[in-house]
Amino acid sequence: MGALLAASCFPGVGVLQFRLSLSVLCFALAAGAPQLAAQGGEDPRAVVRSATRAVEGDSAARVRARLEARAARGASDRAALVGLATLDRLAYAYRAVERICRQRISGGRDRSAVYARLGLAEGFEARSMTRDAGPEF
């Protein structure tokens, strides 16, 4: 199966090279799992989706209460902070987004920091502040 996949999807790549590349990819994905657990165990992408759906489904207050409780329990729950920043951005509370993202999230080098910077950039773009948005993308 691996030989067929390698030959059909990646012409010119040998089976051994394909398997080695696949092994490296799997190792890289597995190496990211402890970092995800350190963020409170929840993927920031899933938190952003959940916050967006909450705003669309008129349940933002309930989701906000849950995220605020998580953030109060531990300042290290960066995914909860990303969720709160997302709720604020979708409610046009851009100053709150900037405060959360700049003071509590964006200094890190994890997925939450990436989502925080993207949230900042989207907030700047929404206010036609393209020059400020550029460095955050």
6/20 Cα distance (integer angstroms):
11
How large is the average pLDDT for residues 12-35? 46
92/136 Cα distance (integer angstroms):
18
Per-residue pLDDT of 64-77, as tens digits, reads 999 999 999 977 89
User: What pLDDT shows up at residue 103?
Assistant: 81
The domain ranges of the chain are: 2-36, 41-136
User: What pLDDT shows up at residue 97?
Assistant: 94
Mean pLDDT for the chain? 78
pTM: 0.67
37 or 105: whose pLDDT is higher?
105
